[in-house]
Structure 1
Amino acid sequence: MTVFAFDITANGSNVATADAPPEGGYRWAHFDLDDPHLTAFLDTHVPAIPAAALVAPETRPRADRFGDGLMLNLRGVNLTDDGPEDQMVAVRMWVTAHLVVTVRMRQVFALDTLREDAAQGYAPATPMMFVSSLSTRLMGRVQDTVFDLSGRVDGMEDSVQDDDSPLPPELAEERRMAIRLRRYLAPQRDALVALVGTDSPLMSQSARDLLREQANLAKLNVEELEGLIARMTAVQDHHTAQAALLQGHNGYVLSIIAAVFLPLGFITGLFGVNVAGMPGINTSWAFAALCAGLVAMSVGAVWVLRWLKWI
């Protein structure tokens, strides 16, 4: 059985479901993909090719005309508890002048909102107005998600101002989220652009105008995501460069210390051999003279390094 179904009149109100849609109106039937009654319904009411598209295990956004109807796939952000927002949920649709069939795999809150409106008698008056209303709700939620992500990226960029701040631990996951969102939204942008340009007789000018705005919004969201990906890459590059600079500075300091103490180590090692003939063994001031010589060598090594402009 369907998740729900409405017979919608030409003024957008709903009536009791009958054998046929009301005159001048359309029927909206919504199914879960795993509904055992879905196949029988599609065999009766939907041509074979659109029916196969409605039950396909994998989908991508599309907008294709088939005869007097439209095969549509749109995606929205996942607002349920069973996955992250960037694991976008798909809405499969078959739209004709008198029938709208929607199929979901996961709950789609935009469809639930349309159902509530329809139950109160405020459904879209035509199938294409239904499509434009659904795409408006889907893209609105997408835009909210992209704006939230943009705000978090702003916070990451603020950390760049402080060279001592560590790499934000959430950077990698946020960048993956932006990449996954763009992966789904880029074809959705193309699908909405194709839908706006379709020559289907279902398309009214008012619906076309509304869909054009959603196509433009999809373009803006894709561009924003591309910018966010680039900005997060810049944050990563900055912290990588800072880490490399710090490592190079520390290595430089260690090299200077090694350069100063290398001759000292040689001299002390030479005078530390335990063999006969070492000078100063029987001289009381020999140790003081050796220490003074080592200090002088250290000062001389520092002077040479400064003269070479290594420090």
Structure 2
Amino acid sequence: MSRVFISDGAQAREISLDAFCARTEDAPFSWVHVDGWQEDARAVASRCDHMPEAALSALLAQETRPRCTLMGEGALINLRGLGVQDDPTGDALVSIRLWAEQARVISVSYRPLAAMEPVIARMLAGAIHDPGDLIAELSRHITEALDPEIADLGDSLDEIESGMGESSAAEARRQVSEIRATAISYRRFIAPQRQALERLSAADATWLQPDDRLHLQEAADRCARMAEELEAVRERSALAHEELTDLRAERLNRQALIISVVALVFLPLTFLTGLLGMNVDGIPYAHEPWAFLGVVAVCAIMAVAIGGWFFATHWLRR
């Protein structure tokens, strides 16, 4: 659903899109948020005299990456943030496209952004007075929501690494693979988002105040730190996956070694019992009453001797 907010500098209120398009004079500051699946974007764009056609096409594009492009009197900014929890479709990071110019911001998104409601609350509370305030506030809420999510990836990996010898190797490998895929997916957008925020903070735009530039640079710094953390998580995940694979191979090798030792222990016993089990004349003590117990005792002594030799030579040492 499209939403429109206008501010006179002291207070802000929400109006309908039709009322906004019917206004004959511009408000000191207006923010129009458009649902990309509806046909409202072009009607709203008609209110912006300085919006290039390229900017309108970028606002309506479904596949985007974070960027900041200065176009005439305005700027096109694409950002990515966490989506709402009950939206299972698509990537975890939702894109929002913004066209900012003097006294006006138009934003378009195809999926709900988790940071929108806090920003709208700040807007209605009268804390946002110009495009710089809005973009800085949106960037701050996006980075604050992403920070604990990325920290949780590192904590989850810490738990897997600390319990690597206790948990199931197959389950641990699956968890590590999920963490690595998530880290790669997040870093794909957070790294260019840092560059976009840095470029916007240094842009020569009259609607950006010094405090707006400071907040944008702070958000860019947090993005840089998160990108470094994601890179570390990605590398640690690769190392943990290799270690889990080596652990599994070591267990398989040990099991194969035990099977080989057991086979070597029973190999001479099998030869002895097979030799004495031939149905031919001349087998010694074949008719003696103690012959069976004697063969069993000889086999037991041979098995103990061979097993003792394996232990003495550390074949079964951990």
Q: TM-score range by the shorter chain?
A: 0.7 to 0.9
Match of 2:166 in 1: 164
What is aligned with 1:149?
A: 153
1:262-298, Cα deviation, whole Å (9 max, x unpaired):
1111111111122334333334444344334334433
Q: Decide whether the 8 Å contact of 1:8 with 1:123 is kept in 2.
A: no
TM-aligned CA deviation for residue 35 of structure 1:
1.7
What does residue 81 of structure 1 align with? 86
Q: Could you say if the C-alpha distance between residues 246 and 73 of structure 1 is closer, same or farther in structure 2, counting changes exceeding 3 Å?
A: same
The answer as to whether partners of 1:192 and 1:215 remain within 8 angstroms in 2 is yes
Q: What do residues 192-228 of structure 1 show as CA deviations (whole Å, max 9, x unaligned)?
A: 2222233334433221111110000001111112222
Distance 1:12 1:143 in 2: 32
Deviation at 1:146, TM superposition (A): 1.8
State which of 5, 11, 14 in structure 1 corresponds to 2:12. Answer: 14
Alignment map for 1:135-146 (pairs within 5 Å): 135-146=139-150
- Does the 8 Å contact 2:82/2:114 carry over to 1? no
TM-score (structure 1 length as normaliser): 0.86
CA contact (8 A) 1:79 1:109 kept: yes
Q: Does 1:54 align with 2:56?
A: no
The aligned counterpart of 2:190 is 185
SS at match of 1:223: helix
- Letter in structure 1 aligned against 2:183: A
Letter matched to residue 163 of structure 2: S
Q: Distance in 1 between matches of 2:307 and 2:156?
A: 49
> 2:2 maps to what in 1?
3
Find 1:32's aligned residue among 30, 35, 38: 35
Native 8 Å contact 1:8 1:26 kept in 2:
yes
Q: 1:116 aligns with which of 109, 116, 121?
A: 121
2:80–2:93 Cα contact (<8 Å) kept: yes
Which of 38, 41, 58 does residue 44 from structure 2 map onto?
Answer: 41
Show structure 2 runs of 5+ residues with no match: none
Aligned residues: 304
Cα 1:310/1:117, change in 2 over 3 Å: closer
How far apart, in 2, do the equivalents of 1:192 and 1:67 lie?
18
Contact 2:81/2:146 (8 A) holds in 1: yes
- The one-letter amino acid paired with 2:3 is F
- 1:81-126 deviation line (CA, Å, top 9, x unaligned): 1227952111111111132101111122322322233233x14222
Shift of 1:254: 2.0
Please list, as runs of the form range in 1=range in 2, the aligned pairs for 1:219-258 lying within 5 A after superposition: 219-258=224-263
Q: For residue 138 of structure 1, report the CA deviation from its aligned partner.
A: 1.1
Identity within the alignment, %? 29
In structure 1, distance between residues paired with 2:112 and 2:193: 19
Cα RMSD after superposing both structures? 2.7
Task: Please tell me whether residue 265 in structure 1 is matched to residue 263 in structure 2.
Answer: no
Can you list the C-alpha shifts for 1:1-35, whole angstroms capped at 9, x where unaligned?
x72222323x353367542323xx22211110022
Runs of 4+ aligned residues of structure 1 deviating over 6 Å after TM superposition are none
